[in-house]
């Protein structure tokens, strides 16, 4: 996890060159309330329109959302839509070099969306061929821009820029200059990608290019068959590795340079709203991570997290480093804590001991605090947040009703032990809650031996449990209390 977060923090330090087919994505949102009297078709009433960079432009937008420096080479028409694409590239902070041949329109994809569902897509496009006399200029520009980049991404949508002439030229320049080149492919001719560092088709594209049908991804025969076919394609194309995206089944790396040669990363998408541009998000994050020097497995995990977030958004979407970091932390918490639901977080000492034992094997730092927490207030929340930052897992021991009555006297607690425990367990920064009947939680500390003990406002000489914890090497920390907040004051106000 730490290395993934460190890679995300490094993204603003790299420069990525994107070469590919630029488009304008236009989303028209509206509603359908009746059928046309002229023909049996729904009447679409427009409410709102949005424009976004599409194709390779969406890769650029995602890289900029991640904080990377980006240059882009692409094609647009000599029209107002081409002007809009250039303007949007500059507005997002990219440095565009655009070829604008006469007589060809900018590729535009218009989508009609009602109540979150796509009704129709209307495309305007014509292939825009690169003339032979432009090749020397393109080669000179490519050589200069590749030299300035940390990594190169080729986003091929089959619209005319990445041809059988330009693609090998670009890959050849990258290899000569020692720059990694990642390809998102399109079309039946993968020969033009020969020599690339990595090619990233989806499963359907892969099956078409190898001329074979694969068993379903969940079956036992899928992995060996995919590996066999992919390794043969890698050898034929003289590429280093292949990543096949598997939709809801994640993505698979096949490489003769890894042991074993097959690695699958599961998907992180929780709910799919729109797959528009998810492949662009994946390419952007994958390329950016590899550009930072991240290992291929880490780059795949980041790319999968990014695309999972993208499909949960409506429209051609971008995701930020902060969103990916938050998603990764949520996933780690879920993977390492089957007790995440509030009811499961409330444990007996025996249950907690077993969980802590497993967490220690994973190298987790166990934190501990205790209290009555009768009326949870802002002081408590600040305390829990500060304490959780000192550990990987936070255990909160809560005095039972009988224990509170002995300590606080008649009329306490205001809330019963079940309510207080469930309230604390519902906080995302509290990982376990343990009720105890004794006056102190010493027996819990003796059995769990937490790595960090934290209290608010106590000194060590007033805190016997801390004195014991120091004997086995635990860190003991006293945090200042937040002024102006106390349970006693709250009770007085309520009365």
Out of 150, 280, 392, 431, which one is annotated catalytic? 280
pLDDT of 97 above 60: yes
Q: Which pLDDT score is estimated for 33?
A: 87
Phi, then psi, of 229 in degrees rounded to 5:
-70, -40
Q: Which pLDDT score is estimated for 62?
A: 94
Q: In the structure, what pLDDT confidence band is assigned to residue 328 with cuts at 50, 70 and 90? A: confident
pLDDT of 2 above 90: no
Among 3-12, 375-384, 477-486, which range has the highest average pLDDT?
A: 3-12
31-39 average pLDDT score: 90
Residue ranges and CATH numbers for the domains of the chain are 2-334 (3.40.1190.20), 339-494 (3.40.50.620)
- Edge to edge, the sheet with strand 22-35 lists 42-55, 22-35, 107-114, 117-124
CB 182 within 8 A of CB 156: no
Residue with tokens 């207080």: 420
Q: Which pLDDT score is estimated for 196?
A: 97
Largest CA distance in the chain: 93
Q: Which pLDDT score is estimated for 415?
A: 86
Q: 445-456: string of b/e by CB count within 10 Å (b at 16+)?
A: beebbbbbbbbb
Q: Which pLDDT score is estimated for 307?
A: 83
pLDDT of 493 above 80: no
pLDDT digits over 330-369, tens only? Answer: 666 555 544 456 777 899 998 899 889 888 877 889 999 9
Q: Which pLDDT score is estimated for 484?
A: 52
Q: How far apart are CA 131 and CA 25, in angstroms?
A: 26
CB 330 within 8 A of CB 429: no
Q: Which pLDDT score is estimated for 202?
A: 92
pLDDT of 91 above 60: yes
Residue with tokens 């970091």: 325
Identify whether 280 is a catalytic site residue.
yes
pLDDT digits over 108-151, tens only? Answer: 999 998 877 888 999 998 876 666 677 888 899 999 999 999 99
Q: Which pLDDT score is estimated for 274?
A: 44
17-43 average pLDDT score: 92
The mean predicted confidence, pLDDT, of the chain is 87
Q: Which pLDDT score is estimated for 324?
A: 84
291-303 average pLDDT score: 92
What beta strand segments (E) does 177-231 contain? 180-184, 198-199
**Percent of the chain clearing pLDDT 70 (strictly above):** 89
pLDDT digits over 420-432, tens only? Answer: 899 999 898 899 9
Higher-scoring residue by pLDDT: 129, 407: 407
Q: Which pLDDT score is estimated for 320?
A: 86
Q: In the structure, what pLDDT confidence band is assigned to residue 272 with cuts at 50, 70 and 90? A: very low
């Amino acid at each position: 996890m730490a290395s993934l977060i460190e890679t995300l923090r490094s993204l603003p330090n790299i420069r990525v060159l994107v070469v590919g087919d630029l488009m304008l994505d236009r989303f028209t949102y509206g509603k359908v309330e009746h059928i046309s009297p002229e023909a049996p078709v729904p009447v679409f009433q427009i409410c709102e329109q949005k424009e976004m960079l599409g194709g390779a432009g969406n890769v650029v937008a995602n890289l900029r959302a991640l904080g990377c420096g980006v240059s882009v080479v692409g094609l647009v028409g000599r029209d107002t839509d081409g002007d809009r694409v250039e303007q949007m590239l500059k507005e997002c902070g990219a440095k565009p070099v655009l070829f604008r041949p006469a007589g060809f329109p900018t590729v535009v994809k218009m989508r009609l969306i009602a109540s979150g569902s796509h009704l129709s897509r209307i495309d305007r496009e014509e292939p825009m061929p690169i003339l032979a006399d432009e090749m020397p200029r393109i080669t000179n520009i490519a050589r200069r821009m590749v030299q300035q980049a940390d990594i190169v991404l080729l986003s091929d949508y089959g619209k005319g820029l990445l041809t059988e002439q330009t693609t090998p030229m670009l890959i050849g320049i990258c290899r000569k200059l020692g720059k990694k080149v990642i390809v998102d492919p399109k079309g039946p001719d993968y020969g033009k990608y020969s020599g690339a560092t990595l090619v990233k088709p989806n499963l359907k594209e892969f099956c078409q290019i190898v001329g074979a049908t694969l068993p379903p991804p969940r079956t036992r025969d899928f992995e060996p068959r995919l590996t066999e076919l992919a390794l043969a394609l890698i050898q034929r194309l003289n590429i280093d590795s292949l990543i096949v995206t598997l939709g809801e089944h994640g993505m698979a790396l096949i490489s003769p340079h890894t042991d074993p040669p097959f690695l699958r990363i599961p998907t992180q998408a929780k709910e799919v709203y729109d797959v528009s541009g998810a492949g662009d998000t994946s390419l952007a994050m994958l390329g950016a991570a590899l550009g930072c020097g991240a290992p291929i497995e880490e780059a795949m995990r980041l790319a999968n997290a990014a695309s999972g977030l993208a499909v949960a958004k409506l429209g051609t979407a971008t995701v930020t480093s902060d969103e990916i970091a938050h998603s990764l932390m949520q996933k780690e918490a879920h993977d390492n804590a089957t007790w995440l639901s509030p009811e499961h977080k409330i444990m007996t000492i025996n249950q907690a001991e077993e969980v802590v034992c497993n967490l220690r094997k994973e190298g987790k730092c166990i934190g501990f605090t205790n209290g009555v927490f009768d009326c949870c207030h802002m002081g408590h929340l600040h305390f829990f947040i500060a304490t959780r930052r000192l550990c990987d897992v936070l255990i909160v021991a809560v005095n039972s009703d009988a224990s509170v009555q002995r300590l606080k006297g008649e009329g306490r607690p205001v809330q019963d032990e079940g309510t207080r425990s469930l309230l604390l367990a519902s906080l995302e920064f509290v990982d376990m809650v343990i009720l105890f009947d004794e006056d102190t939680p010493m027996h819990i500390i003796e059995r769990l031996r937490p790595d960090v003990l934290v209290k608010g406002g106590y000194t060590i000489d007033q805190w016997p449990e801390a004195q014991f914890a120091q004997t086995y090497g635990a860190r003991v920390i006293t945090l200042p209390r937040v002024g102006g907040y106390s349970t006693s004051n709250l009770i007085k106000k309520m009365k």
